[in-house]
Structure 1
Amino acid sequence: MDIGVLLPTGTAQWGPNDDPRDLIAFGRQAERLGFASLFVNDSLISPRIEALTMLAALAPATDHVTLGTAALMPFLRRPIQAAQSLASIDLLSGGRLTVTVGAGFPGRFGRPLYTLSELPWERRFARLDETVALWRSLWAGADTFHGDFHHFTDIPPTTRPFRPEGPPIWLGGATEAALTRTGRTYDGWLPYPPAPADYATGLHHIHKAATEAGRTPTDITPALFISVRIDDKHSPHSRTALDAYARATYGMPLDQLEKIQAVIYGTPDEVRARLHEYATAGAHHIVVRLAALDLNSQRDQLERTAALLPTLRP
C-alpha cells in the first residue's frame, strides 16, 4: 500500500510564526520518512500556496515521491496554459506527477469559484471531462481540438510531458455519475467516503463501468483521501483537536464534517485498524491529511503517521 501526505499549504494550517518556505523541508522530511507521495489541494476561497506553484517547487527538491493534486480544479485556469504547466511539472519531476481533478461542489467551495472564473456552473462535469481530453490531446501532439466547450485550430507546439501519454489523471468524487466516468475515462479514483463500505461499493461500480467500456479495471488506481489525528492514548483531546481543525479548514464542526468525509483519530493502533478497513475495501493509495493547525504540530503528526507505514499492507 502506498501512503502519501497532503502538505499543509493553507494558511489555516499555519501558526502565527510559521514560514511557508518550510513546506519544502516538510516535503523532504516526508520523503525521508518513507511516504510515497506528496499531494496539494487547490482553491481560491481559502488562502493557500497555489497548487502548481507548490509542486513546481517540490519537483527539484525531492527525488522519488509522487507529486499530486487533491484535487486540482481545472476551471480556475485556461486549459492550454494548464496543460503547459502540468507537462512542465512532469518534466521537472522526471515523470512523478499525478493529477487528481474535480469540478467543485455546491456551497462556498463551488459556485463562487465559477463566478470568479467567469464560467457557468451548469454542465461543469462535461466541461471537466472535455478539459482532460484536451490536455491528453495536446500532450499527444495534436494541433487542433474541437469539443462542446473548446475549439482550437493551428495550436503551436506545446510542452510535452516526461511520459509520452502524460501524467495519470484521477477523478475526485463519489456520485454515481462520477463513478461511471472514472471507470470509463480516468486513471484513478480519489474520494473521501466516511465509511469503508461506501468505498467498496463505489469501487465495484467503477470496475463494472470500466469493464463495460472495454478497459481493464485493475488499471485504475483506487486511492483514498482521509483526515487523520494520532495521539498517545484515546482521549477527548483527539476529538477536540479534530473539531478545531474542521472549523478552521471548512468552517464547520467535526460532527458535520465526518458525515461527508473520511476522518479517523485515536491511538496508533486505532488509526491503523481503521486504515486497514479501507485497505480491505480496496484502497491501495491513501493520501493522509494531518489534522493539526501549525507546522510544528504537523511535523509531529507526520512522524506519528510514519511510524505506522511498515505495518500497513493492502
Structure 2
Amino acid sequence: MDIGVLLPTATAQWGPADDPRELIALGREAERAGFSSLFVGDSLISPRIEALTMLAALAPVTDTVTLGTAALLPFLRRPVQAAQSLASVDLLSGGRLTVTVGAGFPGRFGRPLYTLSELPWERRFARLDETVALWRALWDGADSFHGDLLHFDDLPPTTRPARGHPPIWLGGATPAALARTGRTYDGWLPYPPDPADYASGLHAVRGAAADAGRAPEDVTPALFVSVRVDDDTESGRRALDDYARAVYGMPLDRLEEIQAVVTGSADQVLQGLQRYADAGARHVVIRLAALDLPSQRDQLERLAALLPALRATSAQKSSAPLRSSGVQ
C-alpha cells in the first residue's frame, strides 16, 4: 500500500506563530519517515498556498515521493496554461506528479468559484473531462483540439511532461463519476464515510473499466481520509470536532456524514484504515487533523509508526484473488 499525507497548505490549519515555509520541511520529514506521497488541496474558499506553487517548491527538495493534488480544480485555470504548469511540475520532480481533479460541489464549495472563473456551472463535468482530454492531447503534441465545449486551432508546442502523461485521477463517488473513472481516468480518489461504500464504488469503477476494455489495474484505487491519532476515541473526536469547525465551519458529526474520518488510539486508527484496505484501497492519502504545524508534525510521527503494519496488511490483501473485491 502507498500511504501519503495531505500537507496543510490552508491557513486554517496553521497556528499564529507558524511559518508557511515550514511546509517544505514537513514534506521532507514525511518522505524520510517512509510516506509514499505528498498531496496538496486546491480552493479559493479559504486562503492557502496555491497547489501547483507548493508542488513546484517540493519538487527539487524531495527525491522519491509522489507529488499530487487532492483535488485540483481545473476550472480555476486556463486549460492550456494549466497543461504547461502541470508538465513543468512533472519535469522538475523527475516524473513524480499525480493529478487528482474535481469539478467542485454545490454550495459555497462550487458555484461561487465558477462565477469567479467566469464559467457556467452547467455541464461542469463535461468541461472537466474535456479539459483532461485537452491536456493529454497537448502532451501528445496535438496542434488543435475540438470538443463540445473547448475549441482550439493552431495550438503552439507545449511543455512535455517527464513521462508521456502524468496519471490523472478523479475525485467523486456518484454513479456517473464511477463510470467516468472506469472509462478514462488513471485512478479514483473518493472519501466515503463507510468502507462498504468504498468497496461497492470500486466494484462499479472496475466494471466500467472492463466495459471500456481496460484492466482493473489500469485504475489506482485510492482513498482520502482525515485521521487523528490520540489517546483514545473520545479525545480524538474532541480534537477532530475542533478541526472540523475551524476548517469546514461544521461539527464533526456533520463532517463524518460526508467524509471518511478515522480517530482513536494507534490500534483503533490502524483498524479503521485496515477496513478501507479490506475494501480495496491501495493508495491512502491522509489528512492530518491538527490545527498548527507542531501538532501536524506530531501526528505525522504517530502515523509513521503505523506504516509497517498497514503495509503488511495491504500486502496480504493484494495477494488475494480479485474476486474478493467483486471483480471476476
Does TM, scored on the shorter chain, surpass 0.5?
yes
User: What secondary structure does 1:312 align onto?
Assistant: helix
Structure 1 partner of 2:201: 202
Structure 1 partner of 2:256: 258
Question: Structure 1 residue 77 and structure 2 residue 83: aligned?
Answer: no
User: What secondary structure does 2:57 align onto?
Assistant: helix
TM-fit CA distance, 1:237: 2.1
Structure 2 partner of 1:191: 190
Structure 1 residues 237, 135: closer, same or farther in 2, change over 3 A? Answer: same
For the Cα contact (< 8 Å) 2:234–2:264, is it kept in 1? no
Structure 1 partner of 2:178: 179
Structure 2 partner of 1:310: 308
TM-fit CA distance, 1:107: 1.2
In structure 2, how many angstroms separate the alpha carbons of the residues matched to 1:311 and 1:36? 15
User: What secondary structure does 1:137 align onto?
Assistant: helix
Which sections of structure 1, spanning at least 5 residues, go unmatched? none
Structure 1 residues 43-62: aligned runs within 5 Å: 43-62=43-62
In structure 2, how many angstroms separate the alpha carbons of the residues matched to 1:93 and 1:33? 19
In structure 2, how many angstroms separate the alpha carbons of the residues matched to 1:187 and 1:46? 29
Structure 1 partner of 2:140: 140
For the Cα contact (< 8 Å) 2:185–2:219, is it kept in 1? yes
The farther-off stretch of 147-156 and 74-83 is: 147-156
For the Cα contact (< 8 Å) 2:233–2:263, is it kept in 1? no
Structure 1 partner of 2:125: 125
CA RMSD of aligned residues (A): 0.6
Structure 2 partner of 1:170: 169
Q: Give the counterpart letter for 2:184 in structure 1.
A: T
Structure 2 partner of 1:289: 287
Question: Structure 1 residue 151 and structure 2 residue 163: aligned?
Answer: no
In structure 1, how many angstroms separate the alpha carbons of the residues matched to 2:108 and 2:252? 18
Q: Give the counterpart letter for 2:282 in structure 1.
A: H
In structure 2, how many angstroms separate the alpha carbons of the residues matched to 1:237 and 1:107? 31
In structure 1, how many angstroms separate the alpha carbons of the residues matched to 2:152 and 2:229? 50
In structure 2, how many angstroms separate the alpha carbons of the residues matched to 1:236 and 1:198? 25
Structure 2 partner of 1:244: 242
Question: Structure 1 residue 271 and structure 2 residue 269: aligned?
Answer: yes
The TM-score normalised by the length of structure 1 is 0.99
Q: Give the counterpart letter for 1:197 in structure 2.
A: A
Q: Give the counterpart letter for 2:295 in structure 1.
A: S
String of CA shifts for 1:216-256, please: whole Å, max 9, x gaps: 1211000000000001x215321111001001111111000
String of CA shifts for 1:129-151, please: whole Å, max 9, x gaps: 00000000000000100011111
String of CA shifts for 1:24-70, please: whole Å, max 9, x gaps: 00000000000000000000011100000000000001000000000
Q: Give the counterpart letter for 1:225 in structure 2.
A: F
Structure 1 residues 2-151: aligned runs within 5 Å: 2-151=2-151
User: What secondary structure does 2:250 align onto?
Assistant: coil
Structure 1 partner of 2:222: 223
The TM-score normalised by the length of structure 2 is 0.94
Q: Give the counterpart letter for 1:94 in structure 2.
A: G
In structure 2, how many angstroms separate the alpha carbons of the residues matched to 1:297 and 1:304? 11
Q: Give the counterpart letter for 2:259 in structure 1.
A: Q
User: What secondary structure does 1:71 align onto?
Assistant: strand
